[in-house]
Structure formats: structure tokens, C-alpha cells
Structure 1
Amino acid sequence: MDLLLQTDYLLKKTGLKPDKLKGQNFCVDEKVISQMVEAAQVDHDDEILEIGPGFGFLTLALLK
């Protein structure tokens, strides 16, 4: 399932409604997430603090 469909499903399931005026956005582009992981240059023994609530798409990509 792609990230947009997963996000739509999770928003409906949780009853959350993001407000763009408050800067509430979700990254649903797997290419962008991959670029973020590459830019972070994470090694297997690095400790990472990811700030910002979301559905864990970036977290999962960082764990790979």
C-alpha cells in the first residue's frame, strides 16, 4: 500500500484532521523519505532522535 493510501486510512481510523495553517503535514512521497535518509548519513550504531509526530514512515525508513 502506498504512503498516501496508508495516511488516508490512518487519518480516518484515528479521526485526526491535519491543519495546514498550523503546519501539520505528512510526507507521503517515498522518494523524498529515501532522500532524507540518505542525507542523514546514518550508520548502524548511530543514535537518532526524530522529532515530530507522524505515522512512522520516516522512522521505518531510518531503521532499514
Structure 2
Amino acid sequence: MCESDVYVTENGKEKKIMEDVSVVKVDGDKIIIQKMFGSSEIFDNYKIDTINFLNHKLVLKPK
């Protein structure tokens, strides 16, 4: 499968916060992240820092 993991940068370190992510949607100031089986989380005041398609990794950081 090709799902990705999501990390947040905190104090210069990456912390994994979600696994098996299948959809990422940007809606204004919000990032909506949906897992493969439908559960989702909304991240306010974050922006996408890095997307690494080869390693299936998305990194968010605070705005």
C-alpha cells in the first residue's frame, strides 16, 4: 500500500502523529488529514513543511 505517515516538527524534532494517511486536503488555514479507513483530524495554524513521496512522509510545522 502507499499510505503515508504524518509528523509534526516540535522544538526542531519530528514527532509522528498519524499513520496510514490516505488523503491530505488544504482548506484555507486548515489541513485536513484522513486515514485510510475514514477517521480524520483537522490541524489549524500548521503548514506543510515537507512531502516526501518516496518515503511516504508528510511533515507539518506550526505557522
TM-score computed with the length of structure 1 as normaliser: 0.25
TM-score computed with the length of structure 2 as normaliser: 0.25
Compare CA radii of gyration and give the structure with the larger one: 1
Larger fraction in strand: 2
Larger fraction in helix: 1
Which of structures 1 and 2 has the larger relative contact order (alpha carbons within 8 angstroms, sep 6+)? 1
